[in-house]
Amino acid sequence: MLSASAGRILSIVMRALILVTLGMIASSCGSAGSSDDIPAGSQSSVAPTGTPEPQTLELSVTDAMFSTDVLEADAGRPIIVAFSNEDSIVHNFQLWRDDSREEKLFFGELLDGPGTIEYEIGALEPGTYRFECHPHVATMFGHLIVAEPEP
């Protein structure tokens, strides 16, 4: 019903965006060598396949405390949490959809002592998610803020 036509409109919009993007790439190639080129650094952020680049968020634990209580990430890009346990007791990273703690999205392998691990969270929609250490939910928690990347 409504969702079907909304989906059709969305796919038309997506196709138009892809065409516009291709047009921009084509025109930037055409002007190669001119002084007002896009800086080289910004070109590498556009993967040729359209696959979004992963982003790595660093999080460590010392004295049963996370290194931060706010993590930030871009929407739509796979998230990797580079987790480091610097304690001799067990910690991990788990993620809830929000503070209601009704929908758990990720449960990270427990690290029983010092060590590092990369948790592959996947891409998320914009929102304010809640992260915790499973054995210490009452004292070890924070928020992961996912937002649309700056244009």
What does the binding site for Cu ion look like in residue numbers (CB under 5 A)?
91, 133, 135-136, 140
Nearer to Cu ion, 73 or 133 (CB): 133
3-class secondary structure, 10:
helix
Give the C-alpha separation, 73 to 54, whole Å: 10
Nearer to Cu ion, 56 or 139 (CB): 139
The widest CA-to-CA distance across the chain, in whole angstroms, is: 58
Smallest gap from residue 24 Cβ to Cu ion (A): 46
Smallest gap from residue 108 Cβ to Cu ion (A): 11
Smallest gap from residue 38 Cβ to Cu ion (A): 44
Contact 61, 140 (CB under 8 A): yes
Nearer to Cu ion, 91 or 130 (CB): 91
DSSP character for 8?
A: H
Q: For residue 107, what are its two tokens?
A: 């449960």
Closest residue to Cu ion using C-beta atoms: 133
